Chains A and B, each alone.
Chain A
Amino acid sequence: MSTVVRAEGLRRHFRGDAEPVRAVDGVDLVVEQGEAVSIMGPSGCGKSTLLHLLGGLERPDAGTLIVGDQAVDRLSEASWARLRRRTIGFVFQAFHLVDQLTAVENVELPALLVGTSRRAARRRATELLDRLGVVDRAGHLPDRLSGGELQRVALARALVNEPLMVLADEPTGNLDSQATGEILQLFAELRDTGQTLVLVTHDARVAATAERLLSMRDGAIVEDTRLDGGLPQQTLLAQLAGWEA
């Protein structure tokens, strides 16, 4: 099993009012292929910044970062962009789709950037939308889609180039409970296919789809637990029944 991400001593500071804010303060992290990792923590703990660092949306002030087999902390903006196309898929809380493109055009965009032919990109995009259950909205502009549909389109866009890992930043933050449930289901299915996932969330249910939980506080990882190896199903059901009673 190969390592998807290896970070050592990642640091990212912001200029604050009085003194620099240490958003990420010396984080070491290794994510293996096929792992699903969730990162939780109170507001301002730096989990979103860590995710942005992993995906190259921010540059670390110090530390090393290896994505796949490429050291990326020294890469130029353009090289990082090219790497990002093939290896990383982003899902954001606010969806961040391009307003003027239809759903399917949004999804095929990364494929086109990689150099896929127009036809092949369109085909792949449509397939993905179908898999995620929104293919009937393919020709619509984002302002016509509901929150759940938008996030599914965003997820399809993240998957179109078969990325090394999918990074999700509060993916259910803007969704109602039903849409949240649907997205949870999708992430679970994604995890089951072996896709490497890193989820940043404050929703325990989203975090529970992963089998590894990281807790962050004040820019550092304070806990790294495995969530699998739980109770046998029978015991669980019995306990739940007892609880209800």
Chain B
Amino acid sequence: MAAGRLLVGLAWRNVRHRPWQALLLLLALSVATTTITLAMALVDVSDRAWDRVSQATHGFHVDAGDEISPDMSPAQRERVRAGLARLGDAPGVVAVGGPWREAQVDAEIDGVPLRLRVEVRDAGPAAVDQPLVTAGHWLDDREGVVLEDGLAAAAGLRPGDTVTIAGQRVPVRGAALTVNVGPYPTDQPAWVWVSPATAARLGTALDEGGYSLELRLADRDQAESFADAHPQVNDTWQETRSETATDIQDLAAVFGVLAIFVVVLTIGTAVILVAGRMAAQIRQVGTLKAVGVTPGQVTCVLLVEYLAVAFLATAVGLAAGSLLTPPLARVTDVLAVYGAQTPPITWPRAATAFAVTTAVVVLATVRPALRGVRRSTLRSLASNTRPPHRPGRLVRAITGLALPVPVWLGLRGANRRRGRFLANMLGLTVGITLLIMALALHTGVEKLRQQGLSIEAPDAISRAADIANQGRVSSLGFTVAALLIALALINATVAAVFAAQDHARNHAIMRTIGATPGQTVTAFLVAQLTACLLACGFGIPFGIVFYESIRGGILDPIGLSALTYLATILATLTLYGLIAAIPARLLARRPITPQLAYE
């Protein structure tokens, strides 16, 4: 219908007329969606990674075991094995895995000695705990060992390589995942599975160990009571799961809450962006109403513009987020191992990201649009600002000081248009809060890394793996911090540009009465830097409070030194001064007369 095409055409023309506004909104929303996508992926990974692997491997519900000693006779060993196997007949059991021989042995990988837990398995598939192959293939009748995935990754072993187990060289057949134990080096010693042929060759090396039995119950929630009823049971699936997954669940919680904060703060930036457009929009609203366009249609024009941007931003954010998820999800070996099973994008995640972005846009747009729509047409056409406040005592005080004219003009201008000044200040506060959170997050994560490094590792391989892990934690912290800083920069640019546009008319007027461009820019910068300083005063405490609320139990309380705060304030003032100076100078260089004309 014609009206619809007209509205879309208008929306498109608006965007083309001021493309950078749409671009800034796109950037801000993209950063937000990237953070959201990343957080959701991490939450997803941690939440269900373990469950996914458990499902794929027919993971255990209860795990039982019994020991044997080297001095036992084969008959005695057989009695132990049978006794354990009888557990499989207990009521409530639907599937049995094992009993399997297991023992801890000395091994050597590339000359590095380490302990391994060896379990003897056949080709299977086992009814319970059939490990999920991630490289190569499972055991067969030949000799061979399948390594736990974490060990394979840490030691850099691939199918075809050899490891020395109890002095015997054994070929590596593949790598696999199980939920029975966490990945190496989080859980040590590393698990490996050997074929019966290899077990025969290893012989007495396996004598000191035991049998392992894994059961699946009809109702897995009965695992606890089953464990209480049968003393041979060592672990329930809930215990193992929480041990393995707790760390990453905490981390996921941190990022989840962080994502929420980022969304809220992005709304702040978006509101400023949109409200800043309102001055121009309101006049357009008035014109449209005057030619008979209904208020509803007018709001539609605005929404179309911004929703298009939101859609683009979601796409960008999802793409960036899914690109970033695999490298960053390897933040702990657990995530690295289990998380590899998680797809980078899922429909629910995409839908959530889009819903959030749309909500942000709608919230930011609708209220000022409605306000503009409700104003009378004439008022909209005639004016574009609310009148400034009357001068007060503060003004007289400022006037009393012997300041140079541009400085005093800037301060008084700020005081007179308090609404604008406060909105600007609020915007900057958002940015500084983000900045403080970024710094605190990075420092906290670094500390975590240092703590991780100080734990003694039993062998060179696990030490190397630990270092790599901590490095990944560090990168994650760095990436998130970088995202937050990017958002803060966008926010500052938006605030500066809109403030400069706001002042453009007054600049032009002052130049007609003989103020130099330098003087008008100075007046503007004085007001901006005052806003920035006040924003620091609010933003730093807010940043601290927000960080404290998201750090969970993992990260330390905020540990930024007083010097850091001071440096932040100075750097922010300088950087924002630079950011604000650019649009101000550009506007000051423009010829005077077009700016004086009506828009």
Contacts and interface: CB of A to CB of B under 8 A. Distances in A.
**Chain A interface extent, by class:** 20 to 34
A86 B388 CA distance: 30
A57 interface: yes
B513 A94 contact: no
B387 interface: yes
A113 B512 contact: no
A96 interface: yes
Nearest to B408: A112
Interface stretch (B305-313, B545-553, B588-596): B588-596
B533 interface: no
A84 interface: yes
A100 B593 contact: no
B384 to A, nearest CB: 11
A130 interface: no
Contact of A143 (B387, B391, B508, B591): B387
B117 to A, nearest CB: 77
Interface stretch (A37-45, A74-82, A201-209, A234-242): A74-82
B405 interface: yes
B69 interface: no
A99 B388 contact: yes
A148 interface: no
B385 interface: yes
A97 interface: yes
B516 A98 contact: no
A141 B388 CA distance: 8
Contacts of A97: 509
Main DSSP-derived SS at the A contact region = helix
Nearest to B598: A94
A152 interface: no
A96 B596 CA distance: 8
A94 B413 CA distance: 21
B472 interface: no
A77 B517 contact: yes
A25 B509 CA distance: 27
Interface in B311-361: none
A96 B416 contact: no
Contacts of A78: 516-518
A61 interface: no
Given A100-B388, A141-B390, A57 B513 contact: no
B283 interface: no
Interface string B499-510: 000000010111
Interface string A4-48: 000000000000000000000000000000000000000000000
Contacts of A215: none
A157 interface: yes
Given A92-B596, A141-B387, A82 B514 contact: yes
Nearest to B405: A112
B510 A99 contact: no
B399 interface: yes
Contacts of A64: none
A143 B389 CA distance: 11
A85 B405 contact: no
A187 interface: no
A109 B516 CA distance: 13
Interface of A: 52, 55, 57-59, 77-78, 81-86, 88, 90, 92, 94, 96-102, 109-110, 112-114, 118, 141, 143, 157
Interface of B: 385, 387-388, 390-391, 399, 405, 412-413, 416-417, 506, 508-519, 589, 591-593, 596, 598
Given A58-B592, A99-B387, 16 more contacts: A77-B517, A81-B516, A84-B513, A85-B514, A90-B512, A92-B596, A96-B512, A99-B385, A99-B388, A99-B417, A99-B506, A112-B405, A113-B405, A113-B514, A143-B387, A157-B513
